[in-house]
Homo-oligomer: A and B are copies of this chain.
Amino acid sequence: MAFVSGVTPYIIAVFSVVIVCFWIQSLREKKAKESKGATDSSSKVRRWVDQDLQDDTEILPQHDEFDLPHVPYAPPRYPVDVMLERSQDFYTLMDQRRSVRFISPEPVPREVIDNVIRTAGTSPSGAHTEPWTFVVVSDPHTKHKIRTIVEDEEEVNYRQRMGEKWVKDLARIRTTWVKEYLDVAPYLVLVFKQTYGIASGGKRKTHYYNEISVSVACGILLAALQNVGLVTVTSTPLNCGPRLRALLQRPANEKLLMLLPVGYPSASATVPDLKRKPLGDIAVAI
């Protein structure tokens, strides 16, 4: 038979290889199509979602859909010269604010701290969810545990995780992983963002833009502290969130955003001789 000639085995071999290649290719295409389909459908549903909405939040209906009545709003109105003076005075006051790492152990009246937290709580928030919890720690034992957790993690951050560059950037402002102020400051305020809420019935309630909202509240909190002559340093301890959350027994929907030691500055407090950008470098008029 001509079929069993000398070249036939090679033809069959080549033919087999071609078939196998096609088969593998078709399998790959099928797989790629499937995974593309998955991407398509998710991007279709949440195409509009930006970074801050990418919580692990279930989208479920809420139960408080009542339309709130509107009420007249007439806040105090100042004459132009008073406005100008108030704007200048407030700028002068806020411009004196500095991040201070040298905090005095002197006691601070609790009521002042309470008013400062109340003030932070006046911040706006996405869909009025008020997604913040301020944990105010004055117990020395708990403060020390917080310090231990933060220093443990910060040392690892500085030594291994952050890379030479960041360590150099922060060296400019003499930050190290030793945070004595966590023991010394009369209060530590740990600000948690609630990444979702719990509606009646135990279902998850979306907290839109929770991180931005809580950060805005922190800005108002800083203003309130400066207004009473107290100091702090805004810190965002890397990787400490879960351990601190466990220590402070916060629920699973809360994530640590900021840790603020609060007190009077120590008598020998110093700050790096930083300058702020002038208005022309931060504002554009159109």
User: Chain A residues in contact with chain B, CB under 8 A?
Assistant: 4-6, 8-10, 12-17, 20-21, 24, 45-48, 50-52, 54, 59-62, 64-78, 80, 83-84, 86-88, 90-91, 94-100, 102, 109, 111-112, 114-119, 121-124, 126-128, 130, 132-139, 142, 157, 161-163, 165-166, 168-174, 206, 208-209, 211-212, 215-224, 226-229, 231, 233-234, 236, 238-239, 248, 250, 257-258, 264-265, 268-274, 276-277, 279, 282-286
- Collect the chain B residues with CB atoms within 8 Å of residue A276's CB: 121-122, 130
A69 pairs with B272, CB closer than 8 A: yes
In contact, B229 and A212 (Cβ under 8 angstroms): no
Return chain B residues, CB-CB under 8 Å to A221.
219
Q: Which residues of B contact A116 (CB under 8 A)?
A: 87
Contacting pair A224 B284 (CB below 8 A): no
With A117-B279, A130-B277, A220-B220 already in contact, the answer to whether A265 and B87 are too (CB < 8 A) is no
Contact (A236, B224) CB under 8 Å given A20-B21, A80-B109, A282-B117: no
Chain B residues near A279 (CB, 8 Å)? 114, 117-118, 121
| Assembly stoichiometry (copies) | 2
Beyond the given pairs A72-B269, A73-B270, 5 more chain A to chain B contacts, judged by CB atoms under 8 angstroms and listed by A's residue number, are: A9-B12, A47-B161, A59-B165, A73-B265, A94-B224
> When chains A and B are docked, how far (Å) is the Cα of A223 from the Cα of B220?
6
What's the Cα separation between A86 and B119 when bound, in Å? 12
> 7 closest pairs, A vs B, by CB?
A219-B219, A215-B215, A48-B161, A87-B115, A70-B270, A9-B9, A216-B219
Would B170 and A74 count as touching, CB distance under 8 A? no
A16 to chain B, nearest CB (A): 4
Given A8-B9, A271-B73, answer yes or no on A62-B168 (Cβ-Cβ < 8 Å): yes
Bound CA–CA A166/B133 (angstroms)? 23
Q: How far does the alpha carbon of A258 sit from the alpha carbon of B17 in the complex, in Å?
A: 59
A67 touches B142 (CB 8 A): no
22 contacts between A and B (CB under 8 A): A48-B238, A61-B165, A61-B168, A62-B165, A64-B172, A65-B169, A70-B174, A75-B97, A84-B112, A87-B112, A87-B119, A90-B228, A94-B122, A99-B124, A121-B277, A127-B173, A135-B286, A136-B283, A136-B286, A138-B285, A217-B219, A220-B223
